Chains A and B, each alone.
Chain A
Amino acid sequence: MTYLKWTLRATVAIVMFLLLHYTLPQHDIVRVVNTYQERQDLNDWTRVFWAKPDDQSAELVNRDVQFIQTVRRKSSLLGFVVHNREEPMVFRNEDTGWSWPPYFKFDTANLQTQADDLRSTPEEPKWAVMTHYGWRNELISVFPNAVAIKPIDGPDARVIPWFNIFFFVFLVIAVLFVRAMWRQFRERSIDPALNEAGEAWDRVDARADEAKGRFGRWIDSWRSKPKR
């Protein structure tokens, strides 16, 4: 039972972590190399890693998607540690519209223009902060979705993830609040109901004992004592 409980808890924790890691915004320090547009097939299970910009796109088997090719500073530990090395990173650039995840992004064309404007060479680099969500996976051709791009002075800029800070503060408050609500509900509504039911059952039991009478009690005396 303990194993089951901990397995269940670990599974919930891992799923929550993956969901948040995919959905919450992350910041990369990038240099835009190129942008391109490519027809994408969308009719297998990897469809979940592409956005649904509008209702008609939900039915389409394939459509054009815009991409932003960048070179980014390598980072580890959820982006908190930025290294001095570089690696290629390709972002997709799609509207999220009114659907999941709730970024309400409608400015794909503008973002593509801004990215084009920031294009630079290794000799004369123009650095920028790319805000994005999602994962890159080469094996199944999954790309993170670019949300915003902002020019910065140099590659050593420090980005403070304000949104994520507010989000996790809110999450902790919400969890504590729900816990307080549940405790109040249990104390005031569930426990009294259980006590009531317990008392009602005791009354029924007592009446049944009375009804059995002397003969019943004598029969009972031959039975083994009820276990406690």
Chain B
Amino acid sequence: MGLIRLLVFGFLGLSVAYLAISFYSRSIRKEKLEDRWVEDHPGDGDSPEREAFIHDGMVEYQSGIRPKLILLVYVIPALAALLLLYLINFF
């Protein structure tokens, strides 16, 4: 029961962290794309080409490695807990 409680609340807590970090990472990428567009097309604030450029960049980001790396938010604490369990009890 204690283990189930730990798993449920741990999963909920880490999910909050996962969503927050995903949101942050997307926001950073979008800002970079916007900055790059402004560098190449000074003065172009909101044209359809700009929208398409940012949209394509975000699609590319979604299929890249970075969103998958954020899943480590679940993996690392689980491994840390297992390591701690081993060191405390069996080392």
Contacts and interface: CB of A to CB of B under 8 A. Distances in A.
A181 B22 CA distance: 10
B85 A104 contact: yes
B69 interface: no
B27 interface: yes
B2 A54 contact: yes
Interface of A: 52, 54-55, 97-99, 102-107, 110, 147-148, 180-181, 184-185, 188-189
Interface residues of B, number: 19
B89 A106 contact: yes
Given A184-B24, A188-B31, A99 B2 contact: yes
B32 to A, nearest CB: 12
B85 A181 contact: no
A107 B81 contact: no
B6 to A, nearest CB: 5
B1 interface: yes
B9 to A, nearest CB: 11
Given A98-B3, A184-B28, A103 B20 contact: no
Contacts, number: 47
Given A104-B81, A147-B88, A98 B27 contact: no
A97 B88 contact: no
B12 interface: no
A99 B1 CA distance: 10
25 contacts: A54-B2, A55-B1, A55-B2, A98-B2, A98-B3, A98-B5, A99-B5, A99-B6, A102-B81, A103-B88, A104-B84, A104-B85, A104-B89, A105-B88, A106-B85, A106-B88, A106-B89, A110-B89, A180-B24, A181-B20, A184-B27, A184-B31, A185-B24, A185-B27, A189-B27
Q: From DSSP, what is the main secondary structure of chain B's interface residues? A: helix
B88 A102 contact: no
Interface of B: 1-3, 5-6, 20-21, 23-24, 27-28, 30-31, 81, 84-85, 88-90
A180 B20 CA distance: 12
B3 to A, nearest CB: 5
Given A98-B5, A106-B88, 19 more contacts: A55-B1, A55-B2, A97-B2, A98-B3, A99-B2, A102-B81, A104-B85, A104-B88, A147-B88, A180-B24, A181-B20, A181-B21, A181-B24, A184-B24, A184-B28, A185-B23, A185-B24, A188-B27, A188-B30
Contacts of B6: 98-99
A180 B88 CA distance: 35
Nearest to B86: A104
Contacts of A180: 24
Contacts of B1: 55
